[in-house]
Amino acid sequence: MSDKSLSTEHRGQPPIWRALKERLFLLVCLGSTGFGLLALAALTYGLVSEGWSVLSWDFITAFPSRFADKAGIYAALVGTLWLMVITAFFTVPLGVGTAIYLEEFAAKSRITRLIQVNITNLAGVPSIVYGLLGLAIFVRTMHLGRSLLAGALTMSLLILPVVITSAQEALRAVPHTYREASLAVGATRWETVRNHVLPQALPGMLTGIILGLSRAIGETAPLITIGALGYVAGLPRGPLDSFTVMPIQIYNWASMPQKEFHADAAGAILVLMAVLILFNGTAIYMRQVARKRLGS
């Protein structure tokens, strides 16, 4: 919009009308925010009122059971924690590495553009497709079986596009003058990235990693496809052991005929939300630390 069109738009409108538009705009924005918050509040209220009563230490440390009042989420909770840590282990270096290559090193050629478009598109692929891919590659071809490792690798594929894209955004936000100054005093590209660009971009990258892992923590379909379990009376003993995760346990309980299990499902969702907050809280804490170091 040019200055000219701005001025013609304003000419002849009474100030009261402009003020009204201002108020109206504010109201629309406020309404949008409120809508989301209201939905979240309603959801949380529903979950707490249904699931609060089942929450107890026993619920957290018990294995699943056919009796709703004896059932617990221990195996699923530990499975989810394992899965998240292993997924992060693969996703962070791969995602950040790809982003650094694409932003800092690769020439802007047709091929990099093609890669870019593909990464963006992959972010929109339904998660079940990743499940099928994981089943074919990790479970069958690589013979990892229905293991945590196969699940975590599948989850990594699923969230890599999100992590790469946001890491790229973060790198792009670092002013070009930083790089130029660093290169001008004789630093290599590696030194420039390592000492100047990466620390600046780190907080933004962490945001992407948080978003990616938050998505992975709630996924069910791809894990059921690769053969995560519905019932296991024991904890995973290592990355190559079978596992179950919380969303599967919740899905399981929610589809049980007996209503008592639906309360268990609500309770498990509350625990899942707590785990999510724990994970995100850790990442946000790390982001704060990173920001503080930049400031000093």
Rule CB under 8 A: which residues touch another protein? 63-66, 77-78, 81-82, 84-85, 88, 139-140, 145-146, 198-199, 202, 224-225, 227-238, 242, 252, 254-259, 262, 279, 282-283, 285-286, 289-290, 293
Question: By the 8 A CB rule, do 189 and 114 touch?
Answer: no
Q: Which is nearer to another protein, 56 or 282 (CB)?
A: 282
Is the separation of the CB atoms in 234 and 79 below 8 Å?
no
Alpha-carbon distance 230 to 58, whole Å? Answer: 20
Smallest distance from another protein to CB 162, Å: 19
The nearer residue to another protein, 62 or 115, going by C-beta atoms, is 62
Cβ proximity to another protein, 168 vs 225, nearer residue: 225
User: What is the 8-class DSSP label of residue 11?
Assistant: T
CA separation (Å) from 281 to 109, 119, 140?
39, 28, 36
| CA–CA distances in Å: residue 272 to residues 78, 103, 191, 287 | 11, 35, 41, 22
Least distance CB 85 / another protein (angstroms): 5
Q: Give min distance, CB of 139 to another protein, in A.
A: 8
In the complex, what is the shortest distance from the CB of residue 51 to another protein, in angstroms, rounded to a whole number? 16
Six-digit token string for 30: 């406020």
- Shortest separation between residue 120's beta carbon and another protein, angstroms: 27
Cα–Cα distance for residue pair 139/133, rounded to 1 Å: 9
Cα(262)–Cα(177) distance, integer angstroms: 57
Q: Which is nearer to another protein, 33 or 288 (CB)?
A: 288
Distance in angstroms (rounded) separating the CA atoms of residues 263 and 248 = 15
Q: Could you tell me which of 182, 192, 197 has the C-alpha nearest to residue 294? A: 197
Which of 213/270 has CB closer to another protein? 213
C-alpha dihedral over 28, 33, 36, 40, to 10 degrees? -140
Report in angstroms how near the CB of residue 137 gets to another protein at its nearest.
15
Q: How many CB atoms lie within 10 A of CB 109?
A: 9
Which residue carries 């975590």 as its tokens? 152
Task: Give the nearer residue to another protein in terms of CB position, either 169 or 241.
Answer: 241
Nearer to another protein, 119 or 223 (CB): 223
Rounded Cα gap, residues 278 and 69, in angstroms: 26
- Token duo for residue 85: 């840590």
CB 232, min distance to another protein, A: 5
Q: Is the CB of 117 or the CB of 277 nearer to another protein?
A: 277
Please state the closest distance from residue 167 (CB atom) to another protein, in A.
14
Lookup: tokens for 128: 């079940």
